[in-house]
Structure 1
């Protein structure tokens, strides 16, 4: 029988990995795609640990690369469940890179992955709720709800059926675009 509620700490995952030259891009920094792959792995581990089930990535929200990661730095990713729905979980991940020679640590990224728990047949299954014990945990849960609501509004706006360009001219006019419509 699965637990009805779990503490946030029970599902937290931390991984560290030394960044190698093979992880770099043409600019000599660690490739963002490699970091995204690590983010997906830790999100899976955290969600699976919370749900005790196989989990899939449903969406990725807010992947902002704040600071480049250098070859030779130790990257640490910290993941925790910020929010749970019926079968979905929002996993918050903080990425830090440490220069192991100087000890300087920099915040490189914060990301939010929505993961969904599945059974062996691929059907979504219920996940345990969260026991919130700190102000940070309550804030993260509430912010996840706000992001979810904003995503619904964004989705509704982009699925409108009125495609008239006239409706959007006021949005475009103060940006770096030149309109040369053909008639």
Structure 2
């Protein structure tokens, strides 16, 4: 809890990482490591005592990587309604026993929502590559 009676953002990030790991490991059938966490958006605070639900799903795959989109919903359990509070895109890589990356099954989006998320993930992948190319060596 933070000083305002809300769940600390770091605690939410830990839950997001755990949910995304479960999704990545389930998809790949392998142990997975977090490569990057980006585009996390805290839309609304999560209040202490509220019910919290995390939904993690594959947004896109590369040869060894999986882009996992996590949505957090929360609300007063007495109100019987949860509202979206946080979104995040996390990239995992499946690895073997020696920590070397291994191929993952390809994800083919079929619904409009899946195609939208795949487009979003692929746009971010391109943007990260472009940013990496101009990043100062000391950064």
TM-score higher than 0.5 here? Answer: yes
1:103 shift after superposition:
2.4
1:159 shift after superposition:
2.6
Aligned length: 138
Question: What are structure 1's unaligned runs of at least 5 residues?
Answer: 1-23, 162-183
Matched position secondary structure for 1:83: strand
Aligned pair 1:81/2:58, yes or no?
yes
**1:91 alignment partner in structure 2:** 68
Whole-angstrom CA distance in 2 between matches of 1:133 and 1:152: 26
> TM-score normalized by structure 2?
0.94
Whole-angstrom CA distance in 2 between matches of 1:160 and 1:51: 33
Matched position secondary structure for 1:62: strand
Whole-angstrom CA distance in 1 between matches of 2:114 and 2:33: 23
Aligned pair 1:150/2:127, yes or no?
yes
Match of 2:37 among 57, 60, 64: 60
1:160 shift after superposition:
7.0
Q: Which has the larger radius of gyration?
A: 1
Whole-angstrom CA distance in 2 between matches of 1:36 and 1:160: 28
In angstroms, what is the RMSD of aligned CA positions?
1.4
**1:139 alignment partner in structure 2:** 116
Matched position secondary structure for 2:107: strand
Match of 1:39 among 16, 20, 23: 16
Whole-angstrom CA distance in 2 between matches of 1:133 and 1:67: 30
Q: Deviation per CA, 1:92-124, whole angstroms, max 9, x where unpaired?
A: 000000211122422111100000000001100
Where do 4+ consecutive residues of structure 1 move more than 4 Å?
none
